[in-house]
A and B are shown apart, each in its own frame.
Chain A
Amino acid sequence: MDSGLSPQDKKDLDKFIKFFALKTVQVIVQARLGEKICTHSSSSPTGSDWFNLAIKDIPEVTHEAKKALAGQLPGIGRSMCVEISLKTSEGDSMELETWCLEMNEKCDKDIKVSYTVYNRLSVLLKSLLAITRVTPAYKLSRKQGHDYVILYRIYFGEVQLSGLGEGFQTVRVGVVGTPVGTVTLSCAYRTNLAFMSNRQFERSAPIMGIIVDHFVDPPCNSQRPANMGQPCNYRAPEDDDGPFAGVQDSQEVCTTSFSTSPPSQLYASRLSYQPPALGGAAELSHPTANPNQVLHAGKEGGVVLAPAQPPHGADAHLTVEHAPNTPGSSGDDDGLSNSGYGRRDEGRRCASPSDPVESLNAFTRKIGAFVNKPSAQITAASLDLPFAAFAPRGLDSEENDPMVQPPDSPPCHSPLQASLHSQGSEGSGPQDDFVMIDFRPAFSKDDLLPMDLGTFYREFQNPPQLASLSLHISSQSMADDLDSLPEKLAVYEKNIDEFDAFVDMLQ
């Protein structure tokens, strides 16, 4: 299979395919984040933009992709698949599409790796950008948020399309022939969007199979469990990715230089690699095959970069708040806590405090833009929690997890009810019908103001009915209306020209 392919070409080709796979995953996941993507063109190459396309690298996604690939490359019989699914706030889930990067045996021996294959892979990525906005899941992903979120899952091996339901359609994004096989990129998407609510529970039953925190290896997986996948959310890192400097080995240098020499000499003239911006990589000079045909003096940075991603350093950035999660939740009741919202700013979660809210052990709470740091809230919540009623009692919280919101957006009827129910610390049994309890409305502190929230509630609990809604007044006004009708009509007829002009303007 490799006959005729020089070692350098083989190395280049492997590198191209590896980074193509990583970029493919990035494009797909970013297209399902629910936001519009915008990157900038740059006339001067930076050496880190693979395939001459500005595609951001979300570190979490790269990490997942690399984990799925586990050092292998997509090959014949080994496809890389990205599965996009939808999960509702009630816990129902549905696979929407599966993107497959496959390789078949059809080889194109004569093709130039360093040039033609690279450019065609670049075109294929552009096609992927275009097609990801066209499949039905795009519109769904743009509307994700409160009712449902979009998840992704990367796996390697056999393509599994059974979850797409009947009548799924396939669209082929494109193919690129290489000397070792033909790279094919395609998407199979569901057309039948009726929900299957039972499936979700089958898949989530085995607790061990669910990844609680995808940065911690689950105890027993030799291969990825069929879990719900990761949310397509992303918190944009601050500009310099503090803890991430040096971690992005996707900045392994990419080809940025090409030769315009005639084809016969192309083989000899190697790509000149820009020295990696991160530094530290030794630059090797690669002896060209035909020294007398060297057309450029470019040195090749034989970047043998395997910058070890610090085990949780990479995680540290995006998942600062994960840290409490991992040791705390040994009970994997958090189950699908990682498959929560697709909201940009709320992609992190932390474990609930164990005490004093012990009934809320499995209660995971999101850190959002408006939520204070966990510790502060814990102490504040040493009073009864207004929404205790909504927390599961020792059950897996997966149903509730997506319902968790930063506390300042409760369902509107709840403060009253919840406070009436928050009896935990009051010591009154729920069985009693009428219990005198202290009225503690949500978010209020006692003695803060002379007129506090509780007083306000009591005073205005039973407002008088609106005058206009009362029956006899309404019937009066109806009679008045009828009487005034002729006058109104006369006025309108006078102004008929204005109205006509207005209507014309609208057309």
Chain B
Amino acid sequence: MNCRSEVLEVTVEARQVEESMLALLHTILLHRSTGKFHYKKEGTYSIGTVGTLDIDCDFIDFTFVRVSSEELDRVIRRAVSEFKDALSNSGSDGMGQISLEFYQKKKSRWPFSDECIPWEVWSIKVNVVNLANEQERQICREKVGEKLGEKVINVVEVINRHEYLPKMPTQSEVDNVFDTSLKDVQPYLYKITFQITDSLGTSVSTTMRRLIKDTLAL
């Protein structure tokens, strides 16, 4: 199956990394989450309600909307925080990429583990810059806010093409399509990974490790 792949690129200051990533990841997840499914007899199901929340950024002139789910927010924050730490510890020029991948699970026979087949991958490339003075920082606040707005419009544009989405699953299959671990919302199955690019432009071992881990996933 062809996997849809979208790349977004942002240039931010170090202190803006966290919020800009949260903004974009949450915007994508807002569109890729539904309410909890409640299966009833005879193959019908009803869908819970998704609430939304406006979040103001502290270091960027920007407000984004996220799904009203603290659990989901925690998960995303943790991933972004790891990415941010990796970026700042890498000692590189501050280039990295965080990926949000939506996948479906396909059950395989024993001894092979389930296959994860991605159907949509969002890659957000980050360039971190250092600014010299407060005035530049102020300009950066506004500029990054505008850029993020453009990125949100890009995201919305892609999503509203209404291209492939996994079929709505039956009750037995729902865990192959959706992440049902959260109490209040149900995003499509997703995973977040990142890689840091060192100054030579080659990506560091994290990608290799990830690939190996996935192949041998048991």
Do residues B44 and A257 form an inter-chain contact, with CB atoms below 8 A?
A: yes
Q: How far is the CB of A286 from chain B (nearest CB, A)?
A: 14
Do residues A130 and B50 form an inter-chain contact, with CB atoms below 8 A?
A: no
Q: Inside 8 A of A295's CB, which chain B residues have their CB? A: 42-44
Tell whether A139 is near chain B: CB-to-CB under 8 Å.
yes
Tell whether B45 is near chain A: CB-to-CB under 8 Å.
yes
Tell whether A46 is near chain B: CB-to-CB under 8 Å.
yes
Do residues A53 and B50 form an inter-chain contact, with CB atoms below 8 A?
A: yes
Do residues B35 and A260 form an inter-chain contact, with CB atoms below 8 A?
A: no
Interface residues of A in 110-169 (CB under 8 A from B): 115, 120, 122-124, 126-127, 129-131, 133-135, 138-139, 142
Q: With contacts A130-B156, A131-B153 known, is A37 near B54, CB below 8 A?
A: yes
Interface residues of A in 283-303 (CB under 8 A from B): 295-298
Q: Which 9 A-B pairs have the closest CB atoms?
A: A174-B160, A39-B51, A36-B54, A54-B51, A134-B149, A43-B36, A41-B184, A41-B51, A49-B49
By the criterion of a CB under 8 Å from any partner CB, how many residues of chain A are at the interface? Answer: 50
Contact with B along A253-285 (1 / 0, CB 8 A): 000111111000000010010100000000000
Contact with B along A16-40 (1 / 0, CB 8 A): 0000000000000000000011111
Tell whether A171 is near chain B: CB-to-CB under 8 Å.
yes
Tell whether A45 is near chain B: CB-to-CB under 8 Å.
yes
Q: How far is the CB of B141 from chain A (nearest CB, A)?
A: 12
Q: Inside 8 A of B149's CB, which chain A residues have their CB? A: 134-135
Do residues A43 and B48 form an inter-chain contact, with CB atoms below 8 A?
A: yes
Q: How far is the CB of B35 from chain A (nearest CB, A)?
A: 5
Q: Inside 8 A of A256's CB, which chain B residues have their CB? A: 46-47
Cα–Cα, bound, A237→B96 (Å) = 47
Interface residues of A in 319-343 (CB under 8 A from B): none
Do residues B42 and A54 form an inter-chain contact, with CB atoms below 8 A?
A: no
Q: How far is the CB of A181 from chain B (nearest CB, A)?
A: 16
Cα–Cα, bound, A41→B43 (Å) = 24
Q: Inside 8 A of A38's CB, which chain B residues have their CB? A: 51-54, 68
Interface residues of B in 66-81 (CB under 8 A from A): 67-69
Tell whether A214 is near chain B: CB-to-CB under 8 Å.
no
Tell whether B10 is near chain A: CB-to-CB under 8 Å.
no
Q: Inside 8 A of B184's CB, which chain A residues have their CB? A: 41-43
| Interface segment, one of B26-34, B84-92, B101-109, B117-125 | B26-34
Q: Inside 8 A of A134's CB, which chain B residues have their CB? A: 149, 152-153
Tell whether B139 is near chain A: CB-to-CB under 8 Å.
no
Q: How far is the CB of A263 from chain B (nearest CB, A)?
A: 9
Cα–Cα, bound, A483→B185 (Å) = 70
- Picked from A126, A133, A142, A260, the residue with its CB within 8 Å of the CB of B44 is A260
Tell whether A235 is near chain B: CB-to-CB under 8 Å.
no
- Picked from B48, B61, B64, the residue with its CB within 8 Å of the CB of A130 is B64
Do residues B50 and A296 form an inter-chain contact, with CB atoms below 8 A?
A: no
Do residues A133 and B160 form an inter-chain contact, with CB atoms below 8 A?
A: no
> Quick one: closest A residue to B149, CB to CB?
A134
Do residues B48 and A129 form an inter-chain contact, with CB atoms below 8 A?
A: no
Q: With contacts A37-B54, A39-B52, A54-B52 known, is A126 near B170, CB below 8 A?
A: no
> Quick one: closest A residue to B34, CB to CB?
A52
Q: With contacts A52-B35, A131-B152 known, is A42 near B51, CB below 8 A?
A: yes
Do residues A54 and B63 form an inter-chain contact, with CB atoms below 8 A?
A: no
Tell whether B9 is near chain A: CB-to-CB under 8 Å.
no
Interface residues of B in 159-199 (CB under 8 A from A): 159-160, 162, 168-171, 183-185
Q: With contacts A39-B51, A296-B40 known, is A123 near B185, CB below 8 A?
A: no
- Picked from B46, B67, B69, B171, the residue with its CB within 8 Å of the CB of A45 is B46
- Picked from B31, B35, B43, B45, the residue with its CB within 8 Å of the CB of A43 is B35
Cα–Cα, bound, A256→B34 (Å) = 12
Q: How far is the CB of B198 from chain A (nearest CB, A)?
A: 24
- Picked from A52, A120, A124, A297, the residue with its CB within 8 Å of the CB of B48 is A52
Tell whether A175 is near chain B: CB-to-CB under 8 Å.
yes
Q: Inside 8 A of B183's CB, which chain A residues have their CB? A: 43
Contact with B along A173-200 (1 / 0, CB 8 A): 1111000000000000000000000000
Q: Inside 8 A of A39's CB, which chain B residues have their CB? A: 51-53, 68
Tell whether A44 is near chain B: CB-to-CB under 8 Å.
yes
Q: How far is the CB of A60 from chain B (nearest CB, A)?
A: 21
Interface centre among B30, B31, B54 (most CB of A within 10 A): B54
Cα–Cα, bound, A365→B159 (Å) = 48
Q: How far is the CB of B52 from chain A (nearest CB, A)?
A: 6
Q: Inside 8 A of B51's CB, which chain A residues have their CB? A: 38-42, 53-54
> Quick one: closest B residue to A298, CB to CB?
B44
Do residues B49 and A127 form an inter-chain contact, with CB atoms below 8 A?
A: no
Tell whether A15 is near chain B: CB-to-CB under 8 Å.
no
Given contacts A54-B49, A272-B44, 9 further A-B contacts (CB under 8 A): A41-B184, A42-B35, A45-B49, A53-B51, A53-B52, A131-B156, A139-B61, A256-B46, A296-B40
Do residues B50 and A52 form an inter-chain contact, with CB atoms below 8 A?
A: yes
Q: How far is the CB of B69 from chain A (nearest CB, A)?
A: 6
Tell whether B65 is near chain A: CB-to-CB under 8 Å.
yes
Q: How far is the CB of B172 from chain A (nearest CB, A)?
A: 10
Q: Inside 8 A of A175's CB, which chain B residues have their CB? A: 160
A–B pairs, 11, beta carbons within 8 Å: A36-B54, A38-B51, A38-B52, A39-B53, A42-B48, A54-B50, A134-B152, A257-B45, A259-B44, A260-B169, A296-B40
